[in-house]
Amino acid sequence: MNQIKKSFAEKWGHFVVKNKWTVLLFSIILALSLASQGKMEFDGDYHVFFSKSNPELEAFDALQEKYSKVDNIIMVLAPKNKNVFTKENLIAIEELTAEAWNTPYSSRVDALTNYQHTRAEGDDLYVEDLSYESENLTPEKVEEIKNIALNDPVLVHRLINEDGSVAAINITVRPPGLDSAKEIPEITKANRAMISAFEEKHSQFDVYVSGNVPLSTAFFESSQNDLALIGIMFMIVIAVTLLLTRNIFATLATLVVVMFSIMSAIGFIGLSGIKLTAPSSVFPTMILTLAVADSIHILVTLLQKFRKEGYQKNEAIIESMRLNFMPVFITSLTTVVGFLTLNFGEVPPFWHLGNITAFGMCMAFLYSTTTLPALMAIFPIWRGSKKEVLVQKTSFYTQLGQLIVTQPLRLTIISSCFILSMTFLALQNVFNDSFVDYFDETVKFRTDSDFINNNLTGIYNAEFSIGSGESGGINNPDYLEKLNSFEKWLNQQEEVIHVNSFAEVTRKINKSMHGDDESYYKVPTNRQEAAQYLLLYELSLPFGLDLNNQINVDKSETRLNVVLQNLGSKKMLEFTTRAENWLKKNTPDYMHAIGVSPTVMFAKLGFRQADGMIKGNIIALLLISLVLMIALKSFKMGAISLIPNLAPVIVGFGFWALYLGEINTGMVVVFGITLGIIVDDTVHFMSKFLRARRELNYNAKDSVIYAFETVGRALVITTIVLVAGFAVLSTSPFALNSYMARITVVIISSALVIDFILLPSILVLLHKEKSMLKKA
């Protein structure tokens, strides 16, 4: 089979060289026609991270449909005088609140000034804005407002902090969701314009912005930012290729191949209707990095044959094709398989990344084996004379090989111990998908959210829809009493910053209905009374500030919102479980509820992603071992290959435990991403080892040295290119991408080290045993 492949590769090389112009023209037409279908649209909506069938998303959507949606923007105003309660500051807040109603798709604005304060006056109930027509406020009135606000549990830690130095305005928006790629930027643009106008007019304030909509915007902007990394990567590719080939035309040909591959991938995006997201927008850098390795393999051999071994140009091209077709094909195949495994995960943007890159890699293989040789056949090449350098390098790898074969047993034991301890470390990593921490401190969303988290309220939350078992049952005193206990229990938990519960509404009305008597600040004890108070209160609320976001239409369920500190996913999930268990223990069946929210959705995302990916990775690993068994024509070698293919990932996560110890959803896919690269190293080394044994009848030790001599340099070069590419990605301010890139750098580097130390040691050891057994 090898023979057939070789001759096929040779024929292919002949054909391409002979029909160079036709091949070139055809590939240009192919690349251009694919690119003409290309369409790059972005989708920043945080919902894209969840598949339609994600149970947490379903639960959250169900809750939102029962009440109303809670996409929001929270604007936090920090006056420089550290006191919100001055006339000027209240005027400014009232003004911005009024302006906030003009936000596109806004349905509600909650602020300190329009907070519906309830009070009794004689027999009448007054429900009105806490501060209106603020320009007429007297100092006494300002003081009164301050006292009310700082003592109202609905406001403190939600719209005002404890010492009254920071206040918030929360805008609820309800975009129709027909085209989030348009709706969210529309909201953001209006909001930013509003804030900059406000800051200009009222320079006494610093404004900080967070919420779901700014989160989506941050995703959106980070996807465009990461797409731009491709520019730096192109420069690195040009530099590296020039350095390695010392040939301007070879560099140019490489650029054409990677450009065509990326153009084709863009065409694929258009044809498949994928909208780019922060994780999938790194596809050009991925394709560029991986595709350049193909070209370099072919070019390095070509130039070596031409410069060093005296081949004619076209002969050198055909010879290079003959030698590299199979390894490049296997690498491409394993890379494609690796990227396709991303489809086993739970997160659609990573499916897209996998599919786009897989398509790009197929095309890269095609262009590397057609356009590249055709271009090299067309371009002139001159002979250089720098043989000495090459000879020196070869000898370095030979020496390395000689060194390693002298102590295979020791090296195997040391490496095994190292890998075992890394395995132990790798298992110490914990998942953390706190979405604010996805962004580093160069992103304003992150620093603003941190400020809000530290000074006013929390960004993370969990919501519970708590049923009463019957229509109108939310006025049942028993229900209210239990809801009240749940609220009290929640407030005692250290993770909890703020609780917004319907029980508070009823306590407050009850008090006001009894002439603001503090002793009535408790849930009503009579059902009819509670229902009628509620009716009165609801009739008194203005536009947009109703209770429909807290009570369902049937008045059978209420929504309870808990604001949480930033604890990391694990503790967040522990908290929701604890709260769910409290309900199970202390309330009747119909009051049991599960905690839902974007926080919970992201917190569980990493675990879901891991579950899916582990399945996918096992399948891929077995599939690739099978491919290697066939390609190397050896069951044993295929089985041995599992070790160097698996170990780098373990080492990568082991290092990570020492580095950060927290892993996110993006990192779960690295095995799929690096599989092709790791296998590439293994295949090259093993195939050269086998060739030495089978064709040259070398013993195991000499075969290892031969493998070092022949592929050592190529492996180092591709590793350098790949490390450079992922190092560029690791500068992304977006942790799903940067963490993934950082661990990939570690994995690729350790793959090289393992292939240079552990793999040759094992090969020597196993083949020794075999020959000894035979003798015996």
Partner 1 sequence: MNKLIFTLLLISPLIVISQTAEEKGYQIVSKAIDADRGFGSSSVDLKMVLKNKNGQVSERTLSNKTLELDEDGDKSMIIFTSPKDIKGTSTLTFTHKVGADDQWLFLPSIQRTKRISSSNKSGPFVGSEFAYEDLSSIELEKNTYKFIKQDGDLLYVEQDPVDPKSGYKKRIAVYNKAKGYRLETIKFFDRKGALLKTLTYLDYKIYKNKFWRASKFEMVNHQSKKETQLFFENYNFEVNLKESDFTEIALRRSSN
Phi first, then psi, for residue 159 (nearest 5°) are -115, -10
The least distance separating partner 1 from the CB of residue 196, rounded to whole angstroms, comes to: 19
Answer for the pair 483, 132: CB distance below 8 angstroms, yes or no. no
Q: Which of 538, 580, 611, 702 binds partner 1 (CB under 8 A)?
A: 538
312 binds partner 1 (CB under 8 A): no
Query: Which structure tokens are listed for 92?
Result: 């400014």
Q: Which of 1, 53, 123, 775 binds partner 1 (CB under 8 A)?
A: 123
Query: Which structure tokens are listed for 110?
Result: 């909650």
Restricted to residues 471-500, the positions that interact with partner 1 (CB under 8 A) are: 471-472, 475
Restricted to residues 6-65, the positions that interact with partner 1 (CB under 8 A) are: 62, 65
107 binds partner 1 (CB under 8 A): yes
Based on CB atoms, which residue is closest to partner 1, 38 or 472?
472
Residue 203 exposure: Cα atoms within 13 Å on the Cβ side: 1
Answer for the pair 433, 569: CB distance below 8 angstroms, yes or no. yes
127 binds partner 1 (CB under 8 A): yes
Based on CB atoms, which residue is closest to partner 1, 99 or 206?
99
How many C-beta atoms surround the C-beta of residue 772 within 10 A? 9
Based on CB atoms, which residue is closest to partner 1, 125 or 614?
125
Q: Which of 150, 531, 642, 660 binds partner 1 (CB under 8 A)?
A: 531
Query: Which structure tokens are listed for 34?
Result: 């694919």
Based on CB atoms, which residue is closest to partner 1, 108 or 446?
108
User: 496-500 and 124-129: which strand pairing?
Assistant: unpaired
Size of the site for partner 1 (CB under 8 A): 49
Query: Which structure tokens are listed for 246?
Result: 């010392």
d(CA 272, CA 38): 10
Answer for the pair 745, 727: CB distance below 8 angstroms, yes or no. yes
Restricted to residues 194-233, the positions that interact with partner 1 (CB under 8 A) are: none
Based on CB atoms, which residue is closest to partner 1, 171 or 764?
171
Based on CB atoms, which residue is closest to partner 1, 264 or 475?
475
The least distance separating partner 1 from the CB of residue 212, rounded to whole angstroms, comes to: 17
Based on CB atoms, which residue is closest to partner 1, 4 or 539?
539
Answer for the pair 645, 671: CB distance below 8 angstroms, yes or no. no
Which residues, 6 or more positions from 381, have their beta carbon under 8 angstroms from its beta carbon? 247, 249, 250, 303, 306, 313
Question: Which among 203-211, 341-349, 497-505, 536-544 is the span making contact with partner 1, rule CB under 8 A?
Answer: 536-544
The least distance separating partner 1 from the CB of residue 134, rounded to whole angstroms, comes to: 15
- H helix runs in 343-471, sequence order: 348-369, 371-378, 387-405, 408-426, 444-455
Answer for the pair 430, 663: CB distance below 8 angstroms, yes or no. yes
d(CA 85, CA 138): 12
Q: Which of 12, 15, 39, 128 binds partner 1 (CB under 8 A)?
A: 128
Q: Which of 12, 15, 26, 101 binds partner 1 (CB under 8 A)?
A: 101
Question: Which among 49-57, 346-354, 372-380, 551-559 is the span making contact with partner 1, rule CB under 8 A?
Answer: 551-559
Q: Which of 389, 539, 772, 776 binds partner 1 (CB under 8 A)?
A: 539
The least distance separating partner 1 from the CB of residue 364, rounded to whole angstroms, comes to: 46
Based on CB atoms, which residue is closest to partner 1, 440 or 481?
481
The least distance separating partner 1 from the CB of residue 142, rounded to whole angstroms, comes to: 22
Question: Which among 7-15, 249-257, 376-384, 530-538 is the span making contact with partner 1, rule CB under 8 A?
Answer: 530-538
179 binds partner 1 (CB under 8 A): no
Q: Which of 213, 192, 196 is nearest to 205 (CA)?
A: 196
Which residues, 6 or more positions from 522, have their beta carbon under 8 angstroms from its beta carbon? 484, 507, 510
CA 119 to chain CA centroid, nearest Å: 49
Answer for the pair 346, 54: CB distance below 8 angstroms, yes or no. yes
3-state helix, strand, coil in the chain (%, to 5): 70, 10, 20
Sign of CA dihedral 432, 550, 215, 42: positive
87 binds partner 1 (CB under 8 A): no
Question: Which among 119-127, 218-226, 388-396, 767-775 is the span making contact with partner 1, rule CB under 8 A?
Answer: 119-127
Q: Which of 403, 427, 553, 696 binds partner 1 (CB under 8 A)?
A: 553
The least distance separating partner 1 from the CB of residue 366, rounded to whole angstroms, comes to: 48
Question: Which among 25-33, 104-112, 324-332, 443-451 is the span making contact with partner 1, rule CB under 8 A?
Answer: 104-112
How many C-beta atoms surround the C-beta of residue 121 within 10 A? 10
- Where is 462: in which H helix or E strand? strand 460-467
d(CA 685, CA 755): 8
The least distance separating partner 1 from the CB of residue 551, rounded to whole angstroms, comes to: 7
Q: Which of 575, 522, 747, 574 is nearest to 645 (CA)?
A: 747
Based on CB atoms, which residue is closest to partner 1, 374 or 483?
483
The least distance separating partner 1 from the CB of residue 751, rounded to whole angstroms, comes to: 51
Question: Which among 28-36, 101-109, 266-274, 731-739 is the span making contact with partner 1, rule CB under 8 A?
Answer: 101-109
Local structure of residue 437 (DSSP, 8 states): G
424 binds partner 1 (CB under 8 A): no
- Where is 319: in which H helix or E strand? helix 313-340
Chain contacts with partner 1 (rule: CB under 8 A): 62, 65-66, 68, 101-107, 123-128, 174, 176, 471-472, 475, 513, 526-533, 535-536, 538-548, 551-555
